[in-house]
Amino acid sequence: MNIKDRFTHLNIASIDKLDKGWSSDDKYILTDEEGKKFLLRLDKIEKENQKIAEYELILKCEMAGVPVQKPVEHGALDDRYYILLEWIEGEEASEVLPNLTGEQQYKLGFEAGEYLKGIHALPTVQFTTDWREKFNRKIDNKIRIYEQCEYKYEKGHLFIEYIEDHRHLLNDRTQVPHHGDYHCGNMIIGDDLNLHIIDFNRHDIGEPWEEFNRIVWCAAQSPRFAAGRVDGYFDGKIPHDFWQLLLLYICTNTLSSLPWGVQFGEAQIQVFRDQAEGILDWYDDLNTVIPSWYNEK
């Protein structure tokens, strides 16, 4: 596979492998003769339809005013399928946020919430599976995987108990386009402090508020940013059942994190154990549904 030959029309001068992130696709930074950079994402040819849908979602986001990497082109490359995007200069938000003022963190979080609302407002294909049915299957699978895992959380039963007591919240929910992995690790902050949303490779269709299930990563880095995300999405008018449903999603995600982390060794297992302890602390062992990081904003 000769990447440079495939993109001769771009006058590529250099190609650098990008080894960062958890995604399964291969990533390269292409730089043309004038110094302009592009991000090339390569995946299996079997994922062609998924990659086309990813490209089209990014394109729709750009047209709707969501700050994303500008789509350039997509297509087959030997036995792979690619999407090519313009590169965004800046640093991962998770690394930048702790160095900003509380006011700056909150403002960026508020913008992230507004951008997420913009993604959810995009038109979507008609979904065929009821959300309650769809997510209950996911819950059942994640509980089963957790129970089969040799590692456990000290208070793992609290997550399962909350889930079982709140499945009814999944009734009669709509579905919208999802970014799929919306947190500060998939956002870029430029030198001008502008926020950009990246990494749509886990995109799907789902209930809008499930998209907040990874806000735990944001809250760990910046409680102000996390609080801003919620306020920006709801413009400060937060339904009470949002907090209840969000905690259901967080509990479900937390259960599956530990078994998933086993493949990466003890260090990653400890990361998820520490995260679970942090969640229980925010929620007073799940005796409250509004986390302390929001109350303390």
What fold does the segment set 3-86 form as a domain? Answer: Phosphorylase Kinase; domain 1 (3.30.200)
Helix (H, G, I), strand (E, B) or coil at 81: strand
Please answer whether residues 182 and 216 qualify as being in contact, where contact means their C-beta atoms are separated by less than 8 angstroms: no
Q: Which residues pair with residue 209 across a beta bridge?
A: none
Using the Cα atoms of residue 234, residue 95, residue 254 and residue 103 in order, give the sign of their dihedral.
Answer: negative
Condensed to tens digits (0 to 9), the pLDDT of residues 189-229 reads 998 999 999 999 999 999 999 999 999 999 999 999 999 99
pLDDT at residue 4, rounded to an integer:
84
The predicted model scores a pTM of: 0.94
Question: What is residue 105's predicted lDDT score, i.e. its pLDDT?
Answer: 98
User: Edge-to-edge strands of the sheet including 12-17?
Assistant: 12-17, 26-32, 37-44, 80-86, 71-77
Residue 39 has pLDDT above 90, yes or no: yes
Delimit the domains of the chain by residue range.
3-86, 91-295
Tens digits of residue pLDDT in 41-91:
999 999 999 999 999 999 999 999 999 999 999 999 989 999 999 999 999
Match domain 91-295 to its CATH number in 3.40.50.300, 3.40.350.10, 3.40.50.2000, 3.90.1200.10.
Answer: 3.90.1200.10
Q: Give me the mean pLDDT over the 101-114 stretch.
A: 98
Arithmetic mean of pLDDT over the chain: 95
